[in-house]
Amino acid sequence: MKIVFAGTPEFAAQAMRAIHDAGHEIVMALTQPDRRAGRGMHLQASPVKVFALEKNIPVLQPETLRRNNVDEKKKSQAEEVYQKLSQIDFDVMVVVAYGLILPQEILDISERPGRYGSFNIHASLLPRWRGAAPIQRAIESGDRKTGVCIMQMDAGLDTGDTVLVEELAIADDETSGTLHDRLAKMGAKLIVKSLNQLQDGKDLATTPQANIGVTYAEKILKSEAEIDWNLDAQQIAARIRAFNPFPGATTSLNGLPIKLWNARISKENHGHLASPGEVLGLSDQGVCVQCGSGSIEVLEMQKPGGKRMNAKTALQTFEDIEKSLCFKSGADSF
């Protein structure tokens, strides 16, 4: 099969590698423009671009795919994509966490006679968690399961018919990082299975999405990372795990900005009333903290300029450990 691949982050690159390793030919890659990142804020290529260059796959990086109501530079970039897609020979388009909306005219090119259209790997059990951040929102909301859908794309936001679906249980200690890796592997397997079926001349049975149970996974904002200790323990522990690795849950401890990377519901019985955010004591593996209702066990945290470390070890480095320690919302910076 000849594939046009559109994607940007590592989740997409893993699928791209699997498609290539399965013997399919990726004839063109679309990915987001290089972005500044890291401490030096140097321009960095996306994981999809890195893999494409390794395999000598042509890459286009438009800022938008819309040819109307944009400035001349963006219009020119979109026009180049449109023209090249119209000219090259390909069988199917695969889209994975690309980050740009595909206009109907782009979808139409992939649906011309002799082609199979565009397929998307989506990391949720649609119609739950359509949108940008399905992995984080599933953990934040306390979902017990998630999965991957291979979807035939239409012009809506993750509204197309599904062709393959596989479920995955969310572990009690799951972070967005660990769940991302498991779903990426699953998505890569399912998209290869779909492409192999098309190559073998087998039809992919489509199933329209249900009209009930629709939820939207809004993009994660850094402003959401600040922990509100008045929430109940279940909500706080879920948020800490959902925001690992991005953007990292933030708080302050006796005035010092802190990031929290992992936590779970505490099973300790502390036997006294405490204010939300108050450190109740040390456990075998972490630090117990009072919430608005119940308490959590913080397992991993980080001080400014330091590395992530076991929360119990980190807390013991505070000079005022003998004083009353209290986490509070509103860390100035990190």
Q: Where along the chain do its domains lie?
A: 2-217, 223-328
Q: What is the pLDDT of residue 41?
A: 78
Taking the C-alpha atoms of 289, 294, 299 and 301 in order, what is their torsion angle to the nearest 10 degrees? -50
In whole angstroms, what is the distance from residue 264 CA to residue 29 CA? 41
> 252 among the known binding-site residues?
no
Q: What is the pLDDT of residue 320?
A: 54
Q: What is the pLDDT of residue 272?
A: 61
CATH of 223-328, one of 3.30.70.260, 3.10.25.10, 3.40.50.300, 3.40.50.620: 3.10.25.10
pLDDT along the chain (334 residues), means of 10: 97 98 98 86 93 98 92 93 96 96 95 96 98 97 98 94 97 96 98 97 94 95 93 96 96 91 86 82 88 94 91 76 71 64
Query: 298 CB contacts (<8 Å, ≥6 apart)?
Result: 240, 260, 262, 263, 286, 287, 288, 289, 311
Write the pLDDT tens digit of every residue in 19-31.
Answer: 999 999 999 999 9
Write the pLDDT tens digit of every residue in 120-174.
Answer: 999 999 999 999 999 999 999 999 999 999 999 998 999 999 999 999 999 999 9
Q: Give, rounded to a whole angstrom, the gap between the first and last alpha carbons of the chain.
A: 48
> 223 among the known binding-site residues?
no
Q: What is the pLDDT of residue 271?
A: 57
Q: What is the pLDDT of residue 323?
A: 58
Predicted TM-score (pTM) of the model is 0.93
Q: Specify the CATH class of 2-217 in words.
A: alpha beta
- Short-list 282, 276, 285, CA closest to 326: 276
In whole angstroms, what is the distance from residue 166 CA to residue 159 CA? 17
> 253 among the known binding-site residues?
no
What is the β-pairing status of strands 216-217 and 309-310? unpaired
> 107 among the known binding-site residues?
no
In whole angstroms, what is the distance from residue 159 CA to residue 265 CA? 36
